[in-house]
Amino acid sequence: GAGVSQSPRYKVAKRGQDVALRCDPISGHVSLFWYQQALGQGPEFLTYFQNEAQLDKSGLPSDRFFAERPEGSVSTLKIQRTQQEDSAVYLCASIQGPHQGSTEAFFGQGTRLTVV
């Protein structure tokens, strides 16, 4: 596609509900990142994929968070048993590299998750 696409744009979940957030990166982009952005804060790193390999998941805040990218393209971030502190915007970014191409990161519009 022309850009990074995320869905849904908005999600309201009841506390305890499981949610799945989808990211469609730019076609051919090797690197994919997930970030969590709380209101008034900068994006905080969650996890990084290089193709289908999850090379860094050090930013995932708890074992309720799980991410996958099974075919090296679309990625899903799953949050189990959502809590109110999970309310945030979840941003996905892709980069063409690392080994070649631009290092510019392209962002999706984000999924705004509200846990009630």
Partner 1 sequence: RKEVEQDPGPFNVPEGATVAFNCTYSNSASQSFFWYRQDCRKEPKLLMSVYSSGNEDGRFTAQLNRASQYISLLIRDSKLSDSATYLCVVILRFMDMGRRALTFGSGTRLQVQP
Binding residues vs partner 1 (CB under 8 A): 31, 33, 35, 41-45, 48, 50, 55-56, 91, 93, 95, 97-99, 103-105, 107-110
Calculate the CA 93 to chain-centre distance: 7
C-beta closer to partner 1: residue 95 or 115: 95
C-beta closer to partner 1: residue 33 or 65: 33
Q: Nearest distance from residue 62's CB to partner 1, in Å?
A: 19
Q: Nearest distance from residue 98's CB to partner 1, in Å?
A: 3
Q: Nearest distance from residue 60's CB to partner 1, in Å?
A: 13
Tell me the C-alpha distance between 15 and 116, whole Å: 6
Question: Are the C-beta atoms of 94 and 31 separated by less than 8 Å?
Answer: yes
Q: Are strands 111-115 and 10-13 parallel, antiparallel or unpaired?
A: parallel
Question: What 3-state DSSP class applies to 56?
Answer: strand
C-beta closer to partner 1: residue 31 or 82: 31
Smallest CA-to-CA distance from 108 within 6, 2, 1 is with 6
